[in-house]
Structure formats: C-alpha cells, structure tokens
A = this chain, B = another copy of it.
Amino acid sequence: MEILRSTKSHPTADWIYDQARKVLPSISLGTVYRNLAILKEDGQIMELSYGSTYSRYDGNPENHYHFVCLKCGRVEDVDIPVRGELEREVEKTGVGDVYYHRLEFYGLCAHCRSSRTDKPGGAGEDSR
C-alpha cells in the first residue's frame, strides 16, 4: 500500500514486486498479487486493465480519468472533473442501473511528442 501510494505511475504487479523486494527481500510475487487483490476488494486501490495483457494498479480509489500513451505505454491522471451527469443520462436510455463509469483517453504523451529524436530504448519509466 505504501509503495503504491508513493508513486504516481500506475505500476504493474511486477514493478510493485521489485520495489517490495527492496525492503522485504524474500517477499514472493504471489504475496504481492494476494495483497493487491485484498486491497482492491476493500476498495482502497483500483485495478486498471486496458488492452494490454497486464494490469496496472492505482493507489487512488476515487474515480478519475486516465491518459494512455500509445507510444510509451505511460498512464497518467487526467485533470478534468468527473462527469457524473453522464451516468444519469445513460440510465435514462433504460439500459439498466449505472453504478460507475470509466473513461480513458489515448494518444501521444507530452514526453513522447517532444522527443521526436526517436532515441531507442525509450519504453517509459516503469512500464516494463
């Protein structure tokens, strides 16, 4: 939980595992997954699963939106207000009861946009 709260990077289970080993050298990946599942169940964290094969985790359990860079894979928080009114609008269509919604934006991050000088090995911070 401390590791997850200490970063803004929406890390993968593997990255969290690496960080955890720095302080608990003998911890196993299974324990990381087990505790992430418990924290998620308890509503303290969020699991983000996009098209990728792996999940990312978010220490902020409040609903907020994300920007995913199509080039480097970075996931960043988007600083616009949550549109609660959309949920009511959807309910009016009669499709069912809406409990929550999820919104993601995809594109080219500011970091990748500026470094047009495609230097190799640029796969982002703790992407993998």
Contact = CB atoms under 8 A, between A and B. Distances in A.
A15 interface: no
A117 interface: no
A62 interface: no
Contact of A104 (B47, B80, B101, B113): B101
Chain copies in the assembly? Answer: 2
Contacts of A79: 93, 95
A95 B17 CA distance: 28
Interface residues of A, number: 38
Contact of A105 (B67, B76, B87, B113): B87
Interface string A75-111: 0101110010011011001111111111111111111
B80 A93 contact: yes
Nearest to A108: B97
Given A47-B51, A51-B49, A90-B67, A78 B102 contact: no
A85 to B, nearest CB: 11
Nearest to A94: B110
A13 B51 CA distance: 15
